[in-house]
Amino acid sequence: MAEIVVRGGMGHAFVVSKGSRFRVMDVEGKQVSDLVAFLRDDPSERFSPGNTRKLNGRLKISREGVLYSTKCRPLLRITEDTVGEHDFLFSSCSAYDYRVRFGLRMDHNSCLGILAGVLAPYGISESMIPDPFNIFQRTLIRPDWALETVEPLSKPGDFVEFRAEADCLVALTACPQDQNPCNGWTITDVKVISE
């Protein structure tokens, strides 16, 4: 077992082999982690939230849910999930959206920027990064179809376990969003535990 602590506002990228498992743990609770995945041998094939909604037939997935690629290939399967509330409707927070959504004038640390930083050594540029699977992010869908981001349900030690269904490059963050309840207003660490 290998454990990597991803500090709040930081990220991590790693390769997983088909059949191996890893867990993403919320260390202190209420901390979102944006996860993206690419086919290791051809990163142009990457996680697709649209295909994942279509092929699971659901807006939210938990245990036995599958994260699909742009070519409808299973990349990751959820094998354990102690929370059951995740989001794949929202894009990553980005320097662009902090300006537009929150009126910030200075660049704000963002999941898109963090992912671009940890994926650069693998030759993946920002424009290649797909919208993410937002582990622990809680999105309410109102009767009038409005979307609202509220505090996660995750408690200290909660985790999601994934099994790789293909050889993948995975990258994730400890989301730095502090302008809405996405992370319970406090940015904390996540832990990656792999076989």
Summarize as ranges the residues that interact with Zn ion (CB under 5 A): 93, 111, 175, 177
User: Residue 24 or 93: which CB sits closer to Zn ion?
Assistant: 93
User: Residue 69 or 177: which CB sits closer to Zn ion?
Assistant: 177
User: C-beta of 164: minimal distance to Zn ion in Å?
Assistant: 23
User: Residue 31 or 177: which CB sits closer to Zn ion?
Assistant: 177
Instruction: Note whether 177 and 32 are within 8 A (CB).
Output: yes
Residue 55: φ, ψ to 5°: -80, -25
User: Residue 93 or 124: which CB sits closer to Zn ion?
Assistant: 93
Instruction: Note whether 149 and 178 are within 8 A (CB).
Output: no
User: C-beta of 102: minimal distance to Zn ion in Å?
Assistant: 12
User: C-beta of 139: minimal distance to Zn ion in Å?
Assistant: 13
What three-state secondary structure class fits 94?
coil
For residues 7 and 32, give the distance between their C-alpha atoms in angstroms, rounded to a whole number.
12
User: C-beta of 106: minimal distance to Zn ion in Å?
Assistant: 17
DSSP 54-91: HHHTSSS--TT-EEEBTTS-EEEEEEEESS---B-SSP
